[in-house]
Structure 1
Amino acid sequence: MAEAATEIEEEPKKPSKLPLIIALVVALAGGGGAFFAIYSGMILGSGEAGAEAHAEEESEPFTAPDVVYVPIDPMVISLGKASEGRHLRFTANIEVPTNQEGAVTKVIPRIVDVLNGYMRALRMEDLEDPAALVRIRAQMLRRIQVVTGPDAVSDLLIVEFVLN
């Protein structure tokens, strides 16, 4: 009978790995939280290191970039048949490095022609999208840079963009 008892004995259970996994997840979450708190300045940001960094930011005065803004004459563009006689009033300035002002001013008629052609091709659906102005502005800037060269124009600043 003693022999039968030894055969019935089961192998010992292996310990569960669940506590180890939970401890690992908690440790990672704590480490991530500590990193975020230090990185964002919630911890150690208000001490001497934070004060020194803040003092350095204040000591540097704002210096304007060496650019000139060349105005583009106001344009009124008819939007075609599908828009039922609607018009777009458009005014903008071109941001140009100071040393490029004369060259860009000479090609303003060509820039107006390129912009006029692009805006005439726009559909009403293109203009009704909330993100349309950002996309249209990027397209216009790219077309202006094709005319003037990539280094001659830094940016396009839209002053007026009105549908009526």
Structure 2
Amino acid sequence: MTDTNVETEKPMKKASKLPLILGLVLALVGGGGGFFAVYTGMLFGNEPTDTASTESQDTPYDALPDVGYVALAPFIVSLTSDGTASLLRFSTQLEVPSEHLEEVERVKPRIVDVLNGYLRALSAEDIESPDALVQLRAQMLRRVQIVTGAERVRDLLVMEFVLS
């Protein structure tokens, strides 16, 4: 009986790894091809135009805007917060279109007054947060634009901002 059992049992065949390897290779090739098509703009991209590329080669740089700068005298403002006083040293320049330089120079005392009043109203806690300079700059630019007119001052550049 033992002889018949041995003859009837056949060794199990291992499953072929060819379909697994073939599937993995096709997935990698398909993924790479899809990435290439999207990355180069063949799919979901804008059609490149020849005129845009030749125009950018003809003009290497855009002309800088015709602006001037009006420097304001440095401010030293005392900040009060819970009885302790801190000092803020602040200096700024205004970016002004060249045609409005003289007009902004004439109202410079009013600009200094507005900025000084705003800075005196601040406490040390208002200035110590990480995004405080961005908010303060926007607030001061808006106040300056109200005094001078929105088209006369383009930007307020903070040159010095020291809290001690």
TM-score above 0.5, yes or no: yes
More helix by share: 1
Quote the RMSD (CA, aligned, Å): 2.8
Unpaired runs of 5+ in structure 1?
1-29
- The normalised TM-score by structure 2 is 0.67
Correspondence list, 1:1-164, <5 A: 37=38, 42-43=40-41, 49=48, 53-60=52-59, 61-82=61-82, 84-164=84-164
Contact preservation (8 Å) 1:126, 1:132: yes
| Cα deviation code 1:77-136 (max 9, x no counterpart) | 100243722111101110111111011001111101100000011122211111111111
Q: Identity across aligned pairs (percent)? A: 47
CA contact (8 A) 1:82 1:124 kept: no
| TM-score normalised by length of structure 1 | 0.67
1:42 corresponds to which letter in structure 2?
Answer: T
Q: Which runs of 5+ in 2 are unaligned?
A: 1-30, 43-47
For 1:132, the aligned partner's letter is: A
Name the counterpart of 2:5: none
SS at match of 1:88: strand
Aligned pair count reads: 127
- 2: CA distance between counterparts of 1:120 and 1:75? 10
